Amino acid sequence: FGIHGESMGAATLLLYAGSIEDRADFYIADCPYSDFGQQLTYRMSAEVKLPSKAVLPLINGMLKLREGYTLKDIAPLAVVDRIQKPVLFIHSADDDFILPRMTEELFEKKKGPKQLYMDFKGAHAQSYNDNPEKYEEVIDEFLQRFTGGGAS
């Protein structure tokens, strides 16, 4: 039994496994962000040219007041080292929506069984659509290596 997530779904599965329950046999995290505050800062500077240094404290304050948490509480980087099961990290080298370095940060911090594959080409969350055969091959190799089984 494994969990496969893409983009925010990948970040969510890492948060789940690292802070709530590490019950799956393996995880596949395709193009996750490592820190939601950093991701917001990056996207705001790329898209709307807002002064993130002024906006992020406001966002954090509103989140804390209304929801009881801050952006740091939803950072997979803070909990990825607690995941004991194998994680396959995937990211397209061409992704400019969530930067590949975020996946590299997560990979570096994850202890225990892990694998990284970043040689896909394509836009954000398009690694499978643009490279289906190689994507399946990478997953099959991961499953063989860490679970003794494959997708086929």
The residues near 13 (Cβ < 8 Å, ≥ 6 apart) are 3, 4, 5, 27, 29
Q: Is the residue at 13 inside a domain?
A: yes
Domain count, the chain: 2
Domain check: are 102 and 135 in the same one?
A: yes
How many Å apart are CA 43 and CA 99, to the nearest integer? 10
Domain check: are 63 and 132 in the same one?
A: no
Tokens at 28, concatenated? 């596949």
- Residue 45 is part of which domain span? 36-74
DSSP, res 63: H
User: Helix or strand or coil: residue 9?
Assistant: helix
100 touches 72 (CB < 8 A)? no
From 74, 96, 127, the end of a domain falls on: 74
**pLDDT values of the chain reduced to their tens digit, one per residue, 152 residues:** 999 999 999 999 999 999 999 999 999 999 999 999 889 888 887 787 666 667 778 888 888 889 887 788 889 999 999 999 999 999 999 999 999 999 999 999 999 999 999 998 889 999 999 999 999 999 999 999 998 876 55
CATH number at 129 reads: 3.40.50.1820
